[in-house]
Structure 1
Amino acid sequence: MSTSEQTEIERKYDVDEEAVVPDLDDVSVPADPAGGAGHVVEVARVERAAPAHLRAVYHDTDDHLLLGSRITLRRRTGGHDEGWHLKLPPAPASSGQETSSDGPGATGADHSAADSTTGEPDGSTRGRREVHAPLGSADEGVPAELLARVEEQLGGRPVSPVVVLETTRTATTLLDAEGAALAELADDVVTATVPGRDGAEPVVRRWREWEAELAPGVDGASGDALLDAIEARLLAGGAVPSASRSKLARGLGAEPA
């Protein structure tokens, strides 16, 4: 089974049921916010997709060892990236990976999006690493390649489903004049169901959030500036930076809903 890895740079916001996604089709920022002249990163148009239904089953130990290590492991169906997803904290700066920005907030605080990292220095926006594996059938279990990545954290402990997240997502893609994607804004309505134990009823939690994520290849200072500009529109539209570190933690009740 093959796997692939990418880096997410994103921010997440809480919104109420009445909030309306603001107009984002004229957002622009300097390509070099540090002082370069001329070229700008500009949103020429947006494309809004039809709502999609996503179903993610998160796996962890009974006492949430992976969540405690800022790691999430899920099998998601629906959407363009269905499959197994393992989200890992940013690689150490000494690894030579990009260290310019990790799902930050425009104010310099870390507002990174769904399954975002915590504990990073203010202004650090390196982004989380996300490893993908094919979906496979539901009865195949967690891919061995993904379990091997977290064997140190698990210490031989088994994982099993701990929460199911059902998300209705309406995605808006921000495109430049050539039609290349710059970022995506996901409008998510989430229902989390935690299975009951010992005959107890399941616990159900619901919320809505917006998630702004840079497209692959958009990063560094210009990526930060683009997220800042998007954030300004979202805050004006009634959003507030989310204090939640992950959909998983929120769904489990480890954070305020």
Structure 2
Amino acid sequence: MTTEPRSSLEVERKYDVDAETPVPDWSALPGVASVGEPESRELDARYLDTPDGRLAEALTALRRRTGGPDEGWHIKRSTPEGKLETQWPLDAAGADDPIEVPAPVLDALAEISGPPFDVIARIRNSRTAYALRDVDGGLIAEFVDDRVTAVDERTGRSSSWREWEIELGPAAPPRAADIAGLFDTADELVRAAGGRPAASDSKLGRALGL
């Protein structure tokens, strides 16, 4: 595994929707000139923490995820600006093999805690993704329609739900006021379709009943 991670700041908005809620016409969002074809992704993530929950206390999540264009090891840290994600390539372990956190990931977490790290949740997600592009083809945002099944590995409790997420891309408007306007319009489109703001700001929190 390479020791050089990739980092990005996620600025997103999440919504809860029912199983049959229709997807809005996202071309109504400011600046969006085209909506890409749906792309199906099957994601399988296992989340880890220390037995005493030190990562959660530090507003940090650790996961190993297979499937999708960004499969790999991820550390997500909550910040006032958004979620700062650092990613390493996937190791060679199988989906059901014992989890062993790679050394570069352990090094990145050392300021919070060292091992042991235990699997606290497994989250499987059937995702449909759409690219929302401007007139020049730049990615303003990605919209994903997620159908999620989760298991709290501490208790064995299972849950399932559907949620939507809009995450800003590199061609998103640079001004905070314009970003707010884009999300305000997204809120209106979701409400008109029958959706609502997400009750939880993360899939992990919802899987664990937080």
Hey, what does 1:24 align to over in structure 2?
Answer: 26
In the alignment, which of 162, 167, 191 is matched to residue 208 of structure 1? 162
- By how many angstroms is 1:196 displaced? 5.7
Q: Compared with structure 1, are the counterparts of its residues 47 and 68 closer, same or farther at alpha carbon in structure 2 (3 Å cutoff)? A: same
Q: Compared with structure 1, are the counterparts of its residues 57 and 233 closer, same or farther at alpha carbon in structure 2 (3 Å cutoff)? A: same
TM-align CA RMSD? 1.8
TM-score (norm 2): 0.89
The answer to whether the 8 A contact 1:214-1:227 is kept is: no
Q: Which blocks of at least 5 consecutive residues in structure 2 are unaligned?
A: none
Aligned residue pair count: 202
Q: Which blocks of at least 5 consecutive residues in structure 1 are unaligned?
A: 29-41, 91-119, 121-125
The answer to whether the 8 A contact 1:52-1:168 is kept is: yes
Aligned equivalents of 2:175, 2:87: Cα separation in 1: 23
Hey, what does 1:144 align to over in structure 2?
Answer: 103
In the alignment, which of 168, 180, 186 is matched to residue 138 of structure 2? 180
Aligned equivalents of 1:203, 1:133: Cα separation in 2: 29
Aligned equivalents of 2:148, 2:73: Cα separation in 1: 19
Hey, what does 1:224 align to over in structure 2?
Answer: 180
Aligned equivalents of 1:168, 1:45: Cα separation in 2: 23
Hey, what does 1:47 align to over in structure 2?
Answer: 36
Aligned equivalents of 1:64, 1:16: Cα separation in 2: 31
Amino acid at match of 1:195: E
Aligned equivalents of 2:191, 2:89: Cα separation in 1: 36
The answer to whether the 8 A contact 1:167-1:189 is kept is: yes
Task: For residue 25 of structure 1, give the secondary structure of its aligned residue in structure 2.
Answer: helix
Hey, what does 1:165 align to over in structure 2?
Answer: 123
Hey, what does 2:204 align to over in structure 1?
Answer: 248
TM-score (norm 1): 0.73
The sequence identity of aligned pairs, in percent, is 41
Hey, what does 2:90 align to over in structure 1?
Answer: 135
